[in-house]
Amino acid sequence: MEVASPRRRALLATGLTLAFMLLVALGISDQGWIFSVVTLLIASLALGGLHWIFPHGLMFALGAANGLAIYVSLFVVVGQASFPAAADWSRSVAFLLPVLAFVLACWVRRNDLAAVASAEGGADLRHFPRAVRWLLPTGMIGIVSLSMPINRAGPEWQSLALLLAMAVIAVIGAVSVGHIVRLLVDISAILRQVGRRLQFLAVPVATYVSLFALLSVAFACFYRIADEFSRGEIFVLMGQPGRLSFSDALHFSIVTLSTVGYGDIQPADDGIRLLAAIQMILGQLLLLFGFAEIMRSHGGRRTNDTIPRA
């Protein structure tokens, strides 16, 4: 099997992380396109700087992108609840402070942290409690921000409070940079292990998806045929009796097989209810089949791993 060159791995890591952060930026576009663009630019520069300081490969880059995405999500949710009237410029600056402080701290301590970031092997969970200790004061700042009536203050005070809270978080991140990098390394090791295990799930996953698609299409045809030849409406669509199109029937079939139950399409005939019940039972059996196949593949992998070499 051809091994990708370091340059190609770096390009792949950069492309995937930027695509992920672009997805996050588009997701938070309700906060304003300026904030989305600023978020994407800051995230791109931060991830590029981290990858330059710690060229640890794809999984480290994805772990860093995941951490940054969680930070963006919490910043948006807590900021909207506690600082809704804060000025746009203050939100951008407040978002930048912890990211900039972390990257600068990584640069200052790059020689010490490079050895940690380049370590091979699995995740070492013995120091995990120490690695996440910085989350406690950071979480307390979020709790205080949500508990205090800051959202009742004027825009100037909200902007000032937001900047102060994020400045404290920036200091915590800079002081705890070693623990955070160690946590990112552990996450990348876990992602590598998951990636190795996924290859053993390819066959059961493909089989499950194929059977799921087969049952979904077959029952969609059953529903459509039954609706076509019935004298009256046997389905209720958005609260009104109506006829199903094939796309409606396929949607109802997938929802029924997965037992989600959105409620936008409902059976209004005893025969259709019985048919839907049969599909639900088949969906549960399919789930059990998929679980059994995954366990069988896992058992086969362990058996192969324990076979002594000649």
Question: Each residue of 80-120: pLDDT tens digit?
Answer: 889 999 988 888 899 889 988 988 888 888 877 776 666 55
Ranking 66-80, 88-102, 250-264, 291-305 by mean pLDDT, the lowest is: 291-305
**pLDDT digits over 30-40, tens only?**
777 787 888 88
Question: Residue 104 belongs to what H/E stretch?
Answer: helix 88-108
Pick the CATH number of 201-306 from 3.40.710.10, 1.10.1040.10, 1.10.287.70, 1.10.10.10: 1.10.287.70
Instruction: Give 100-104 contacts, CB < 8 A, sequence gap 24+.
Output: 100/46, 100/170, 101/170, 101/171, 101/173, 101/174, 102/46, 102/170, 102/173, 102/174, 102/177, 102/180, 103/45, 103/46, 103/49, 103/50, 104/174
Q: What is the mean pLDDT of the chain?
A: 80
pLDDT of residue 57: 58
Is the per-residue pLDDT at 23 higher than 80?
A: yes
For the chain, give every domain's residue range.
6-175, 201-306
Q: What is the pTM of this model?
A: 0.67
Q: Are 267 and 278 in contact (CB under 8 A)?
A: no
What does the block give as tokens for 117? 């970031």
